[in-house]
Chains A and B, each alone.
Chain A
Amino acid sequence: MQENTAEPLREIIRAENVRKTFTLSRKQRALEKNPSGRKIALDGLSFTGYEGEIYGLLGPNGAGKTTMLRILSTLIRPDAGDAFIAGHSVVKEPEKVRSSIGFLTSELKLEDFFTPAYLFGFFGKLHGMSDGALAARREELFSRFGISDFAEVKVGDLSTGMKQKVSIAISIIHDPSVIIFDEPTNGLDVLTAKVVTDFLEEMKAQGKSIIVSTHIFSLVEKLCDRVGIIIGGRMAAEGTLAEVSCGKSLEDAFFDIYKRTVTGV
């Protein structure tokens, strides 16, 4: 898996002209003053993420970041276009895609009633892991995240930070080659946010390919190799951090692009 930087980059995440429209409820139609009743979330979005890199989807709220990541994780299906993870189509081979990704978002919760140890076993089995492999992986991840002492405490009784660690451990239980993380540090306190960013850097060091969505510039600057700026469901700019920033700070570059895209100037 480890990629030598001198070799040409290999594609691992590719979105091809992905379109997604949502039907709005009557209430939403009135709120958004959109009588057509349909909202275009993704308007032909294409981008490519390379092996061993962290790709950042940057954009304001409502730009379509979460929708794109949900399509990549096969939770929802695109209306048109397709996306590929490690060569598998999210439309045609959703189960294969799901076995090669680890998907994390604050929306995915663990059942409060169970203990981390029980859930680890449960999700491991769903990933088709043997008992031996599960035990070894559990030992590795629980000590890495400091969960061991809390392995038998119900998730509902854990602190927010510990819950997040358990969620992370469970999402990478099957050692996926691609990690998809929606708004990784949203709603987390500084210490837990640090756990998350450290984890992402560690995964990158292990040669994993990562895609994150965020609206936090500093996070992109700190972590990402490549960035795609989404505005209104379209890719407004894409490239390495240096290419997109054009010598300015990412924040300034973003607002230039935003102005250009929205006003058309």
Chain B
Amino acid sequence: MNNILTVIKKEFARFFKDKRLVLSTLILPGLLIFVLYTLLGSVFYDRAPTYTVKVIHPSAFFTALFTPAEGEASSFDLIDAEAEDAESIKAEIRAGTTDLLVVLPENFDDLIVSGGVSAVGEAPNVEIWYNSASIDSSSAFSTVSAALDALEDSVSNRFDINISAGGDVSTAQEAEASYYAMLLPFLILTFLFSGCMGLAPESIAGEKERGTIATLLVTPIRRSELVIGKIASLSVLSALSAISSFIGTFLALPRLTGGSIGAAFASYSAGQIVALLAIMLSSVLLIVSLISIISSYAKSVKEAASLSVPLMIVVMLIGLSTMMFTVSSSAHAVFLIPIYNCVQAMAEIFSLRFSWVNLVITLASNLVYIVLLVWILTRMFKSERVIFNK
């Protein structure tokens, strides 16, 4: 036990006394995620562009579609144009100075008033010219064509959808919860994995490569004590690195999506949050043990990193699984599959479908896997083929 603590202290000293390591593992990930997400958020959501639309044969109905309500700024700048300018306007669209050219039929207003139905291809045509290579032009195109479709529907109205009654049966909280249930397990696994990738290969394959692990192995320490000390310290450090990434996400997500993780977390009970932490702990131990085994097998840090890539892809795909399908809470056997059980158990908590049975199956089966992996790693540390494999 004392030896385990001594190893943990040494691993911490190795990490925290190394400013570069602290910077690259603890500070940079969170900072980068924050900056990246904030930038993305400001590109996607903070902009209120004004589209320049030139209209040939302008119409009162068409103009009314883009007249903003009282007190709002219009995002469409409609300019009347002559039919003979059509070609030069298309050139402007290509050049990006104009976003859209709309050519309405000459008697557009009369068509709307008279109503009536024609087969496709026989009805009067509205031409919309746009440039799909320009983001502004394409979004102006989709807004305008959607508005025209709605106008056409209102002319020949047979039924409405969700006007007098109907709507989403989930509460706003549930809708937000299912969104986080998709996103967060993936983010958490990715952060834990990348945190561990920055540490375990260096700590195990690196020590092997530099010949420092053999120095440890000739002291009276048991192989199992060394393995447990390494895995415990690497897990704590990987978790710290993941927390740094998570703080970055936490701060930046409102800007990116308009939601707030804080509000989502406030809806979970203390018990659920403890369960969540327990699942994260078991996933970090699993991931650290797996990468440690790969690192012990590898001849060098480089090899350990490249051998871990397939594992990373598998873990990330499993993390994405919640976006593709959810498992029924009664499918208990699924919660025996390592990593996958962590993702699904976290998704259950985030989506407010918490199940004690599945949580217990997840934690108990992961404990068995972790003990097994520690045993394998201890065996590997006893094997000369692993320790002297250079």
- The answer to whether A122 touches B215 (Cβ under 8 A) is no
Interface residues of A in 59-91 (CB under 8 A from B): 70, 73-77
- A77 to B3 Cα, complex, angstroms: 23
Task: Give the nearest-CB partner of A70 in chain B.
Answer: B384
The contact size tier of chain B is 20 to 34
- The answer to whether A95 touches B2 (Cβ under 8 A) is no
- A111 to B217 Cα, complex, angstroms: 14
B163 at the interface (CB under 8 A from A): no
- A95 to B3 Cα, complex, angstroms: 13
A114 at the interface (CB under 8 A from B): yes
- The answer to whether B219 touches A127 (Cβ under 8 A) is yes
A144 at the interface (CB under 8 A from B): no
- A75 to B13 Cα, complex, angstroms: 26
Minimum Cβ distance to chain A for residue B264 (Å): 41
- The answer to whether B222 touches A108 (Cβ under 8 A) is no
Minimum Cβ distance to chain A for residue B91 (Å): 64
Contacts of A73 in B (CB 8 A): 218
CB contact between B2 and one of A23, A114, A125 (< 8 Å): that residue: A125
A189 at the interface (CB under 8 A from B): no
Chain B's interface: helix, strand, loop or mixed, by majority? Answer: helix
- The answer to whether A118 touches B218 (Cβ under 8 A) is no
Q: Mark B11-24, 1 if CB is under 8 A from A, else 0.
A: 00110011000000
Task: Give the nearest-CB partner of B5 in chain A.
Answer: A125
CB contact between A101 and one of B212, B214, B218, B385 (< 8 Å): that residue: B218
A92 at the interface (CB under 8 A from B): no
- The answer to whether A111 touches B214 (Cβ under 8 A) is no
- The answer to whether A76 touches B220 (Cβ under 8 A) is no
Minimum Cβ distance to chain A for residue B297 (Å): 14
A103 at the interface (CB under 8 A from B): yes
- The answer to whether A75 touches B384 (Cβ under 8 A) is yes
B6 at the interface (CB under 8 A from A): yes
Contacts of A103 in B (CB 8 A): 218
Minimum Cβ distance to chain B for residue A114 (Å): 7
CB within 8 Å for A112 and B218 given contacts A125-B2, A125-B6, A128-B2: no
Interface residues of A in 23-69 (CB under 8 A from B): 23
- Most chain B beta-carbon contacts within 10 A, residue among A111, A112, A171: A111
- The answer to whether B14 touches A126 (Cβ under 8 A) is no
- The answer to whether B222 touches A109 (Cβ under 8 A) is no
- A23 to B222 Cα, complex, angstroms: 26
B32 at the interface (CB under 8 A from A): no
- A108 to B219 Cα, complex, angstroms: 12
A123 at the interface (CB under 8 A from B): yes
CB contact between A126 and one of B17, B18, B220, B384 (< 8 Å): that residue: B220
Q: Please name 16 further chain A to chain B contacts, defined as beta carbons within 8 Å, in addition to the given A23-B385, A74-B218, A108-B214, sorted by A numbering.
A: A73-B218, A75-B218, A95-B220, A103-B218, A107-B211, A107-B214, A108-B211, A108-B215, A110-B212, A111-B207, A126-B3, A126-B219, A127-B219, A127-B220, A128-B2, A170-B215
Q: What are 13 sample pairs from A and B whose C-beta atoms fall under 8 A apart?
A: A75-B384, A95-B220, A108-B214, A109-B211, A111-B212, A113-B17, A114-B14, A118-B13, A123-B215, A123-B219, A125-B2, A125-B3, A128-B220
Q: B residues near A, CB below 8 A?
A: 2-3, 6, 10, 13-14, 17-18, 207, 210-212, 214-222, 382, 384-385, 387-388
The 10 nearest A-B residue pairs measured at CB: A76-B384, A109-B211, A126-B219, A99-B220, A108-B215, A103-B218, A125-B6, A98-B220, A95-B220, A111-B212
